Amino acid sequence: MTRTYVDVSREGPLTILTINRPEAHNALNAESHLELQAVFDDFAADDAQWVAIITGAGSRAFCAGHDLKQQAAGGGLDLPAKGFAGLTSRFDLAKPVIAAVNGVAMGGGFEIALACDLVIAASNAVFALPEPRVGLAALGGGIQRLPRAIGFHRAMELMLTGRRVTAAEGLALGFVNEVVEGDVLDAARCWAATILEGSPMSVRATKEAALRGLDTPLADGIREQFSYPAMQAMLASQDAVEGPAAFAAKRLPQWKGR
């Protein structure tokens, strides 16, 4: 698939996706949604890629959400099967995704961040779900994810008013992991590097069990986790042998991801 609005680079087992519509504050039109979905499909299917970072081009915006100019011109609100940016309805992705929020994250841009596993934000980043102010609603998962992330009443405050939240407030509320004064992408790379020190099989098993556990009673989650696909793959993997062997030999493990 030819890409116009998404840049992709790979640094070993790390995939970096950059939304590249800076002239539109990286708002997503129909074509960019499909491009992102295809890129995430490739990432999910590539056994050599273990962690992804998503960010925006330029220094002003991570993603300003849905392209309202396209909608005003009759473009509609249709989203790809995997949701906003091909990510927000991708519930089967066990590989971790980090948001490197380099500026404005409005509407769908905030929803992309909420769909990620870690959110690293530049100090100038701003988050909001302002859809009610333009006659819409946060249909890319924001309505469901924000209350889970910060609690019902705080989430309702932000969703009903469309109030903007700074990176520092996002850190205090709990949906931001780190606020960065320097290069937010470099900071996200450091987080990715730390994750990559662990077995990708273990990381995927952990993410899968944690996500399923959100909607599962505690006792059921503890019992059922052994039947989850990523957990079974981890337990049967070469990495499950390599980890204890490396620990016993006092050496760094050589992860195979299988």
Local structure of 175: helix, strand or coil: coil
Local structure of 4: helix, strand or coil: coil
- H or E element at residue 85: none
Which residues are registered as beta bridge partners of 104?
61, 126
3-class SS shares of the chain: helix, strand, coil, % to 5: 45, 15, 35
Give the active site residue among 11, 31, 35, 111.
Answer: 111
Which residues are registered as beta bridge partners of 55?
18
Give the C-alpha separation, 174 to 149, whole Å: 7
Give the C-alpha separation, 3 to 57, whole Å: 15
Helix, strand counts (H, E) of the chain: 11, 10
Give the active site residue among 11, 31, 131, 178.
Answer: 131
Known active-site residue 197: no
Known active-site residue 111: yes
Q: Which residues are catalytic?
A: 111, 131
